[in-house]
A and B are shown apart, each in its own frame.
Chain A
Amino acid sequence: MLSPLAGLDLQPSTQYPSPHTITHEIVAHFREHRSQLRDDWLQRVKDQHLLTVLPDDELVTEATMVLDHYLDALETGSLDTLHTYTRNLSNRIIPRRVETREVVALVLNLRDVLARALITQYHGDREHLLAILDNYQPAANRVANAVAVGFVHERDRVIREQQAAIRELSTPVLQMRDRLLVLPIIGAIDPQRARQLTEQLLYAIREHRATVVVMDITGVAALDASVANHLVQTVEAARLLGARVIVSGVSPEIAQTLVTIGLDLSEMTTVGDLQGGLERAERLLGYRVVPTSELAN
């Protein structure tokens, strides 16, 4: 097999050059064989079925960009432009379901391809090769680390934003009438959502000066013990703020759960469905809803 770098006549120097010179030498060597290295790298990426969501031409473009930024980072030792690029790249590929594993494998492959090129080039001079590798490897690891961490950071940020958006959508506290709030809960409740729900409800009670709250859990399929406990605590905390909570829409399964875990529910007002809950709340507030036809008489 013909090495891609065979027949190069870069003379390894016999003296010990300064680290700066070595870096310079490494990067110059890589630059010279840039497209060959890139193609080797792309071949590995394809063999390992990485980044398969990207079409070939786009993969080549991105790979070239990554390689250039990688070399710049090696040369200057500054990761700033690489960081910016990683952030942009991550933003482009995260919505296309590229996984962390793929990005890490991608940069590690590049690191390996470049290291291999160095070994092929300098294997004749052991001392020089060691000096080169000592210089290259820490820098390469730093760069690989920066790319992987950058990607994960960016992904975390996207996830956090989405979570925040979902959370905001998922627990509206609605004012039905003066002093009457309705809190419809739909979907699964995890501990974090339960906490958020409590916080929103308690602050909404204060803001709207509510005295009655209807908490409708028709849309909740199941509760585990800790979340059930949390809901009971929410009801009690609301009472400390002077608001009475009516829980409506307890499904047979949830009723079963609440009984099984043996929570003290004596303080809780429960009503079959949302309509019943609203009627009870209106009675508590002193409202009476009468059909207009009855008023006429």
Chain B
Amino acid sequence: MPETYVEVPILKQGPFLIATVQSALADADLAHLREALVDRMGRHRSRGVVVDVTALDVMDSYAVRTLCELATMTRLRGAEIVIVGIQPDVAFSMVQLGLTLKGVPTALDLEEGLAFLQERAQCRRARD
């Protein structure tokens, strides 16, 4: 029997992918999102991923770990990731729990996140 997951919509926007988390996700859903994103990244040859967590009002250690893993996997596949939309209260409770998303870029919202990815892409082009 196939398992059912809460599907997180993944939109393609030019060279970037946008995943908007719309409700609290169970651990299995998060893992599913991670696989789906990495898969789509390869299919579309995306250069960057924005994960929008504006709707989340809590972030536990599993979610943070999954996001960190996703960041590393993205980098290994030659793309950039940015987490956007962490709410002030969520941010503060995260750091109090020691969940600082170390090394994972963050931005205020979708717009900022896309601007960040664009900038990074330009940097990369300039460097190459």
Contact = CB atoms under 8 A, between A and B. Distances in A.
Interface of A: 198-199, 202-203, 205-206, 209, 211, 233-234, 236-243, 267
A236 B100 contact: yes
Interface residues of B, number: 21
Contacts of B113: 242
B112 A240 contact: no
Contact of A233 (B95, B107, B108, B116): B95
A199 B106 contact: no
A237 B112 contact: no
A236 B94 CA distance: 9
B71 interface: no
B96 A233 contact: yes
Given A199-B88, A202-B88, A203-B88, A237 B94 contact: yes
A41 B13 CA distance: 84
B91 interface: yes
23 contacts: A198-B92, A202-B89, A202-B92, A203-B88, A209-B108, A209-B112, A211-B108, A233-B95, A234-B95, A237-B91, A237-B95, A239-B106, A240-B83, A240-B90, A240-B101, A241-B86, A241-B88, A241-B91, A241-B106, A242-B107, A242-B108, A243-B108, A267-B100
Contacts, number: 56
Interface of B: 83-84, 86, 88-92, 94-96, 100-102, 106-109, 112-113, 116
A240 B108 contact: no
A242 B88 contact: no
A243 B105 CA distance: 10
Contacts of A211: 108, 112
B92 A242 contact: no
Contacts of B100: 236, 239-240, 267
Contacts of A239: 100, 106
B92 to A, nearest CB: 5
Contacts of B116: 242
